[in-house]
Amino acid sequence: MDIDLKTIIKEQAQAVQIDLIGFAEAKDATEFLPMYQERIKNNHLADVGGVGELAKRLRVSDVMPEAKTIIAVGLSYHHPVAVRDQDLQSDKGIISVHVFQRDYHKIMQQKMQELVAKTDQITQQKYKYQIYCDTGVLDDRICAYRAGLGFFGKNNFIIHPEWGSYLFLGHILTDLSIEAYDVPMANRCGECTSCIEHCESGALYGEYKLNPKRCISNLTQKKVLREEEKKRIGRHIYGCDVCQQVCPFNQRAKVSRHACFEPKVQDVYVSCDEIIGLGEAGFDGKYKDTALYWRGYDVIKRNAKIVKENIYSEEKDHE
């Protein structure tokens, strides 16, 4: 594969409305192993099976031995939500902006499948591909970083200078090879520490330092919560966007061209009683085509009950 074909693939990515695409050599990302080792040492990871298991997230050779190239892709889901005073009423909890849109896993998979089909059509060859979006062993963020899609922010998200960090990421492993790979992007956070200062749970405890056990987004997906963890999620029924919302790159990021990812304000700020009263069938009917459906009604209902209790405690404290 020469540089002209690389350009063609980028053009085809634009044709299927992929916002970002980059190419990295399919080698093991062992340079990230110290990050995992530090988190294990600090007891910041649970049920990971030790360094050996975590190292699998970095070994392309284990996933696809014949792979020569990682094609990393990104789709922007940034649609600003105008928040009104009535949206912050005391009975409402918060749900992450990305989970009420159409299920991004399906959309990403479809676009990547279209891309590889067009590539085979252009080359008139049948290359081998493996397509992943939150579904593989490898870390999508590391793949994106190595392929030059953005830099690692202090909030541990991949940040693109124009698109910000509101990006759905995926990657394609393939045995097609290129001569000119993209290079990782230099960090542009500078002296800014806004994400760390605004992290409500202390999960971001230093520059590029993350304790996943304290992350509200992770806690709202956890099967069993301890009492202190229930208090920690505050008003968050599912997910947390705070460290992204305060990022200067996101405050000036381009708006997504994908209308299917546009949330409504009544989806982001939702009544806890409404969630609790939906029932299994009601939940399935309303959210089946969204990423929220993946987590299941039992966890979401539990979180809504916890948030309702947190709101009640908060109001009592202010009496």
Active site residues: 134
Residues 6+ apart with CB under 8 A from 68: 25, 26, 174, 175, 176, 177
Rg for the chain (alpha carbons), in Å? 20
**DSSP state, 187?**
P
Rounded Cα distance, 194 and 144, in Å: 23
Residues 6+ apart with CB under 8 A from 247: 153, 155, 157, 159, 164, 165, 194, 195
Q: To the nearest 10°, report the CA torsion of 103, 148, 19, 175.
A: -70
Token digits of residue 80: 């600003």
Rounded Cα distance, 98 and 22, in Å: 23
Tell me the HSE value of 137 on the side-chain side, using a 13 A CA sphere: 16
Residue 35: count other Cβ atoms within 10 Å of its Cβ: 16
